[in-house]
Amino acid sequence: MRRAALALLLSLAGAALAADYAGPLFDAHLHYNEEAWNGKSGPHPPADAVARMQRNGVRAILSNSRPNDGTHTLAGSPEARRAGVAVVPFVRLYRNRADYDNWFREETIYAMVQSELARGTAAGPYRGIGEFHLYDSANANGPVARKLMALAEEKQLAVLAHVDDTAIDLLMANTPSKGQKVRLVWAHTGIGGTPAARVDQLLARYPGLLGELSYRPGLTCDAGKLCPEWRALLLKYPGRFVVGSDTWVNQRWESYDATMRGYRTWLGDLPADVARKIAWDNAASLFGTKQP
Ligand SMILES: [Zn+2]
């Protein structure tokens, strides 16, 4: 009996040490695209999308969508307001799929961004531009890409960019401060597996660079816990990482619970203050979001 009690106590202590992160989450990479819900039909109307956030403790979202109507819908949705989910709107550069490969040189997209910025959303002014993609890093020097980076710095808009490490340097070079002032959320922090040492170098070089960690290769190892190299990087730069769902296809909405559970597992592997920063504080302080 006594031995059983001791064993129970030890197993409870072990569970406490390995407890998942239980605080609020800021989903810093969310899409509400037209196939999720186009305003009339779709598997994930606002009530469904917001319920997924709510049951996962997601209290704020960086929202963008193709086209921007989805973000307008969430920003004005009574469901999000009732659930206490803060919507931080970003202007998406894509009106349709064809824009993915053309936005960096397409003047009509620059004009669309200007008119969206002037319009704002029901949740307030836009706070950033993106997500945009560069499949060839050299296109970071396209005429519209250059103008958008300069605009972001000038208007203090953050940027959400799915690019490689070479493009980070090129995009930063296209701002008036050469990357010393603009805030850039690096979607996936190098989805092609940019080495941790190179990520470290870029974080050191650009004070406004933050790494978003969805789909990041090499981040987690056994049992969904952090790999040693990435754990060390997160501990070295606790103020520079955020997490996101990247609901780029409906499948990601369907697995939203699993994605957030995955984050809570490895966040639980970090000191409590560091976990809280990556889960919430870093994104919340970037956008001045109220504590839930
Ligand atoms: Zn995305």
How much distance in Å is there from the Cα of 151 to the middle of ligand 1?
A: 21
**DSSP conformation letters of 54-92:** HHTTEEEEEEE-SSTHHHHHHHT-HHHHHHT-EEEEEE-
Spell out the residues 6+ positions from residue 55 whose beta carbon is closer than 8 angstroms to its own.
Answer: 257
How much distance in Å is there from the Cα of 240 to the middle of ligand 1?
A: 19
How much distance in Å is there from the Cα of 7 to the middle of ligand 1?
A: 46
How much distance in Å is there from the Cα of 25 to the middle of ligand 1?
A: 17
- Tens of pLDDT, residues 14-64: 444 569 999 999 999 999 999 999 999 999 999 999 999 999 999 999 999
- Tens of pLDDT, residues 136-150: 999 999 999 999 999
How much distance in Å is there from the Cα of 190 to the middle of ligand 1?
A: 13
Residue 186 has pLDDT above 80, yes or no: yes
What residues have their beta carbon closer than 5 A to ion ligand 1?
A: 131, 246, 248
- Tens of pLDDT, residues 101-122: 999 999 999 999 999 999 999 9
DSSP-based three-state secondary structure for 115: helix
Q: Which residue has tokens 């970037």?
A: 286
**pTM listed for this prediction:** 0.93
Residue 230, phi then psi, degrees to nearest 5: -75, -35
How much distance in Å is there from the Cα of 30 to the middle of ligand 1?
A: 7
Residue 34, phi then psi, degrees to nearest 5: -65, -25
Spell out the residues 6+ positions from residue 24 whose beta carbon is closer than 8 angstroms to its own.
Answer: 57, 58, 59, 60, 279, 280, 292
pLDDT band at 96 (very low <50, low <70, confident <90, very high): confident
Start-to-end CA span in the chain (Å): 44
pLDDT band at 97 (very low <50, low <70, confident <90, very high): confident
DSSP-based three-state secondary structure for 122: coil
How much distance in Å is there from the Cα of 91 to the middle of ligand 1?
A: 13
Spell out the residues 6+ positions from residue 221 whose beta carbon is closer than 8 angstroms to its own.
Answer: 227, 228
Question: Minimal CA–CA distance to 279: which of 54, 32, 20?
Answer: 20
Over the range 55-68, which residues count as b (16 or more CB within 10 Å of their CB) and which as e? ebbbbbbbbbbbbb
DSSP state, residue 280: I
Q: Can you name the residues that pair with 60 across neighbouring β-strands?
A: 26, 86
How much distance in Å is there from the Cα of 256 to the middle of ligand 1?
A: 14
Instruction: Give the up-direction half-sphere exposure of residue 71: CA atoms within 13 A in the CB hemisphere.
Output: 34
Residue 3 has pLDDT above 70, yes or no: no
How much distance in Å is there from the Cα of 31 to the middle of ligand 1?
A: 7
User: What span, in angstroms and rounded, lies between the C-alpha atoms of 51 and 35?
Assistant: 18
Spell out the residues 6+ positions from residue 182 whose beta carbon is closer than 8 angstroms to its own.
Answer: 149, 152, 153, 159, 172, 175, 208
DSSP state, residue 227: P
Q: Which of 6-15, 135-144, 213-222, 245-254 has the lowest mean pLDDT?
A: 6-15
- Predicted pLDDT of residue 16: 46
How much distance in Å is there from the Cα of 188 to the middle of ligand 1?
A: 9
User: What span, in angstroms and rounded, lies between the C-alpha atoms of 201 and 189?
Assistant: 12
DSSP-based three-state secondary structure for 200: helix
